[in-house]
Amino acid sequence: MEKSKKIGHIIIYATATSWIFQAVSAISGLIVLPLVVAYLGKTEYGIWTLVIQTINFLAMSDMGVSNALGRFVARSRGLNDKDAMSKLYSTTIAFLLLSGLFIALITILLTPWVGDILGIEKTYYKVTEIVFIITGLSLALQSPFKLSVGVLTGHQLYGPHGIGKILGSVLNLLGVLILYSINMIELIPLAIMNAISILISQIVLVVVSWRITGPWSLDPRKISLKLMIDILSLGGSTLVFTLSNLIYRSGLIIAVGRILGVQAAGVYGVVLTLISHIYPLISSFSTPFTTLASEWQARDRLQDLRNISNIVMRSIFTLSSCVAAGLFIYGEPILRLLFSSGNWSPLDFHKAGNMLFIMGLGMTLGLPQIVSVKALQGIGKHWQVSYGSLAISILSLIIGISIMNTDLDIYGAAWGWSLFWGLQGILFPAMTSRYLSLSLWEMLIKTYLPGIGVGLFVLSIAWFFDNWLVASNLLNLLIGIGICSFVGGMAVLIISGYNSILWNRIINWLS
């Protein structure tokens, strides 16, 4: 009983912290995004999106070390090895400093060619180069500060972990509002403001992390090459996993810019940004699973992991189904209200609304498997997860580009993006069943069957109220979304609290 309470406390604490960040981020995004899109227009917002997604590839130069650090910290804590912890900090800090220097060098070398690489019009070459070098050098300065995230997650400290993210969102919002007040929402001021807000938030997070988990520092005598190789082994798999995410995410945006033009990339970038604000609220349930799985494995508690995984995956899929149903009905009206002051055509709104639903549907199918991914990474099956994810991402990119070259044009990016998530819903349940001895039938039935029922129910409610209260103004839209959210929330609570005997009977019958 005490173990269950502790596990539940960790998951709820991590989820609540992530929700606070995501809520702040979503509110900030819903204010910032319409302002930025309205002032920049489709072309310049497309440039901004393409530069940011290109810079994301440079972030991989840390070789996944910052992400892998959390698992090593959790393992050292599980073994109560303070000397290993000290070596871990010194080795990681040294590597991240070198990574920052590498990012700065690559940024400087690529800057003269970035406009041509991204297929941007020559008239925008200079501003693109300036934005690229500002953003790239900012990323280089951030590199050593990434240590704090791994340290905090390794200690299961998800409250302080969220401080940097929340502060970054708040500073970004304040910065955009300041630029708006002085009528300077332009690419270069926007890049400078974004760089400053991120750096300040990262510095604050390092200070908070050091005060809570320190003292720790860079001690050259404790830098261990062997430990670095071990970290890179795990970090390398994390890097492959990160690369797979960049291929389907950033790769598709760059492909849109090259094939369909910068304006199309701007429209697609808006849809991607909105999706990125919506679904992380749901995936927050999976936040602690990597470090928890690593710690539980060290303490021989994998049965706890198997028990809790089904519960969390079911909750994620049920919530995702409700959101997908809402996007099907209200996606386009939301876009029309948010970006009515922009230079979007009716066709832009129609395409963006359809893409929002297509991408939402894909995430609904694959989102529960984030739990599987994190659990598998935590127990040491990180390479299997990384290679599987990489194969899926390459396939998704190829199919997305192929569709883009047909009459479906920009929908190809949405279908490619959605395919990445949908295929995860096929691959990772099988891997989880194999490596965690978690019944595939039980996982599929307990995870997906309740969510499908709830999603269809919410869809019918949303369709009814949309026909009764047409979402032509903000009030009607809020009423419709509010009712659907209430109905969906109640359905989730009922499903979550339903007697598990029914599901056990279904499993036994199918077996």
Mean pLDDT of 421-434: 78
Please tell me the distance from the alpha carbon of residue 280 to that of residue 258, in angstroms, as a whole number.
28
Please tell me the distance from the alpha carbon of residue 138 to that of residue 375, in angstroms, as a whole number.
32
Q: Render pLDDT for 432-477 as a digit per residue (tens, 0 to 9).
A: 777 666 666 776 777 777 778 888 888 888 787 777 766 566 666 6
Query: What pLDDT, on a 0 to 100 scale, did the predictor assign at position 238?
Result: 66
What is the b/e burial string over 36-46, where b = at least 16 CB atoms within 10 angstroms of the residue's CB? bbbbbebbbbb
Q: Render pLDDT for 85-118 as a digit per residue (tens, 0 to 9).
A: 777 777 888 888 888 898 899 999 999 999 888 8
Query: What pLDDT, on a 0 to 100 scale, did the predictor assign at position 358?
Result: 92
Q: Are 171 and 201 in contact (CB under 8 A)?
A: yes
If you ran DSSP here, which 8-state letter would residue 368 be given? T
Please tell me the distance from the alpha carbon of residue 78 to that of residue 81, in angstroms, as a whole number.
8
Query: What pLDDT, on a 0 to 100 scale, did the predictor assign at position 178?
Result: 92
User: How many residues can be counted in the chain?
Assistant: 511
Amino acid at 239: L
Please tell me the distance from the alpha carbon of residue 329 to that of residue 460, in angstroms, as a whole number.
10
pTM: 0.76
Query: What pLDDT, on a 0 to 100 scale, did the predictor assign at position 500?
Result: 47
Q: Per-residue DSSP letters for 68-128?
A: HHHHHHHHHHHHT-HHHHHHHHHHHHHHHHHHHHHHHHHHHHHGGGHHHHTT--GGGHHHH
Query: What pLDDT, on a 0 to 100 scale, did the predictor assign at position 63?
Result: 59
Mean pLDDT of 114-127: 89
The residue that leads in pLDDT, 119 or 451, is 119
- For residue 90, what are its two tokens? 């010194």
Does 410 have pLDDT greater than 80?
yes
Q: How many CB atoms lie within 10 A of CB 440?
A: 12
Q: C-alpha angle with apex 56: 70 to 14, nearest 5 degrees? A: 35
Mean pLDDT of 375-381: 72
Mean pLDDT of 222-230: 72
In this prediction, residue 229 has a pLDDT band, given cuts at 50, 70 and 90, of confident
Q: Where are the alpha helices (DSSP H) in 143-186?
A: 147-154, 158-181
Three-state DSSP class for 55?
helix
Mean pLDDT of 216-221: 71
The residue that leads in pLDDT, 74 or 58, is 58
Q: Are 323 and 364 in contact (CB under 8 A)?
A: yes
Q: How many CB atoms lie within 10 A of CB 57?
A: 16
Does 423 have pLDDT greater than 90?
no
Average pLDDT for the chain: 78
Amino acid at 455: G
Query: What pLDDT, on a 0 to 100 scale, did the predictor assign at position 233?
Result: 65
Please tell me the distance from the alpha carbon of residue 194 to that of residue 171, in angstroms, as a whole number.
8
If you ran DSSP here, which 8-state letter would residue 438 be given? -
Give the closest residue to 135 by CA, choosing from 164, 111, 165.
111
Q: Which residues contact 85 (CB under 8 A, 6 or more apart)?
A: 73, 76, 77, 216
Query: HSE-up of 295 (CA within 13 Å, CB side)?
Result: 18
Q: Where are the alpha helices (DSSP H) in 182-298?
A: 187-213, 225-260, 262-278, 280-283, 289-298
Q: Among 95-109, 144-158, 169-183, 198-212, where is mean pLDDT lowest?
A: 144-158
Q: Render pLDDT for 234-289 as a digit per residue (tens, 0 to 9).
A: 666 666 777 787 888 888 888 988 898 888 888 898 898 888 877 777 777 666 67
If you ran DSSP here, which 8-state letter would residue 339 be given? T
Q: Are 262 and 119 in contact (CB under 8 A)?
A: yes
